Amino acid sequence: MTDSFERASRIQFSGQEYDLETLAVRAGQHRSDEGEHSDAIFPTSSFVFSTAREAAARFGGEEDGNIYSRFTNPTVRAFEKRIAALEGGERAVATASGMAAILSLGLALMKTGDHVVCSRSVFGSTVALFTRYLSRAGIETTFVDPTNLNAWSAAIRPETKMFFLETPSNPLAELTDISAVAEIAHGAGALLVVDNCFLTPALQRPLALGADIIMHSATKYLDGQGRCIGGVLVGRDAEMEAIFGFIRTGGACLSPFNAWVFLKGLETLPLRMQAHSERALSLAKWLQTQKGINKVYYSGLEDHPQHALACRQQSAFGGVLSFEVEGDKDAAWRFIDATEIISITGNLGDVKSTITHPATTTHGRMTPGERADAGIKDNLIRLSVGLESVDDLKADLLKGLAAV
């Protein structure tokens, strides 16, 4: 399936060019004097100084070096360097969760009176963070149809400081043209932030398309095995320094253990993302032919309205798809309950396939009217395709279909 895409371009790192797969395994490791081959983990809250003078110089900022793990930690730094290399950014700052990353964007880069233009098809907690909490700091948000470029332009105000989007969106796989929206944002003097959770740098590199900042919930594919909560932001030195200042003071830092898990997750990220994508494409095509399935949402399908854009800005289509079953909420619940291998859980981006009913879980806090506007019907099911065999997943989905 990769034949239809251009070979991903080489990535600049430390003055040389490498392929993404190489950086995923190699970038950012800092070997200690022990000569360990695998990345070391440094579970320490503070660091010692050889003299009182050295301590004063570190605290005063005259000398670089570790002080306290809320500020810097070698394992966290290795993860930051590796993800920055993969996304092609100057610097990354790791955070306690994906939501902590978005909170830091709000509090480190904006102030009272500023305005955000946000895709209306973003993660539910992202909407809640902007509307319930950042609004208390006097930061207002306008939500727009992410596929409509005129809507992005029309929402701009003199106070607009940031555009925020996810592509493809969850759960309906709506795409946003990253280069086009970057141009609109920059015309207004605003930054474009892309939540790159669904595709990861293995399949989509928004900074190269003009975005300014990448946000990740590392909890999803960067870990890839459903173990830890974490987040990270990647971008230019200037904005990352401001965010680092907020994290070291506000305390929403990543733990060294979680950073180590993500560091190991990144090593297999390119391989996993290809395997997730191949399985999801094959299941999406197969689901389209099944009786009892009304509609399948996946950007890899040729009849997806933005398939051409997907082929242009992605290098595969990712592991998440959704579909509508014939019937109502009860039919969708019967389908979900009848599957046996696939886990019923809200998480995604795991080697284990997961199945979710968005209308009553991830999108359950929206009003029925908001859900109708967003196109999330009661018979919609989201599937995050893991790494089980396609044949076993089909057999499991057939059990679901039989119950509809």
Ligand X SMILES: *Cc1c(COP(=O)(O)O)cnc(C)c1O
Q: Where along the sequence are the contacts to ligand X (CB under 6 A)?
A: 97-99, 123, 125-126, 166, 170, 195, 197, 217, 219-220, 229, 231
- To the nearest whole angstrom, how small is the minimum distance from the Cβ of residue 348 to ligand X? 6
- To the nearest whole angstrom, how small is the minimum distance from the Cβ of residue 99 to ligand X? 4
Q: Which helix (H) or strand (E) holds 217?
A: strand 213-217
Report which DSSP code applies to 80: H
Q: Which is nearer to ligand X, 102 or 309 (CB)?
A: 102
Q: Which is nearer to ligand X, 165 or 404 (CB)?
A: 165
Q: Is 186 exposed, middle or buried (0-12, 13-18, 19+ CB in 10 A)?
A: middle
**Three-class DSSP category at 142:** strand
Q: Which is nearer to ligand X, 178 or 401 (CB)?
A: 178
- To the nearest whole angstrom, how small is the minimum distance from the Cβ of residue 20 to ligand X? 21
Q: Which is nearer to ligand X, 24 or 105 (CB)?
A: 105
Q: Which is nearer to ligand X, 192 or 404 (CB)?
A: 192
- To the nearest whole angstrom, how small is the minimum distance from the Cβ of residue 172 to ligand X? 13
- To the nearest whole angstrom, how small is the minimum distance from the Cβ of residue 153 to ligand X? 24
Query: Are 360 and 328 a contacting pair, CB within 8 Å?
Result: no
Task: Tally the C-alpha atoms within 13 A of residue 10's C-alpha that lie toward its C-beta.
Answer: 7
Tell me how far apart the alpha carbons of residues 173 and 170 are, in angstroms, rounded to a whole number: 6
Q: Which is nearer to ligand X, 277 or 293 (CB)?
A: 277
Angle between helices 269-288 and 256-267 (to 10 degrees): 70
- To the nearest whole angstrom, how small is the minimum distance from the Cβ of residue 185 to ligand X? 19
With CB atoms as reference, the residue minimizing the distance to ligand X is 98
Query: Are 256 and 228 a contacting pair, CB within 8 Å?
Result: no
The angle at the Cα of 197, spanning 196 to 199, to the nearest 5 degrees, equals 75
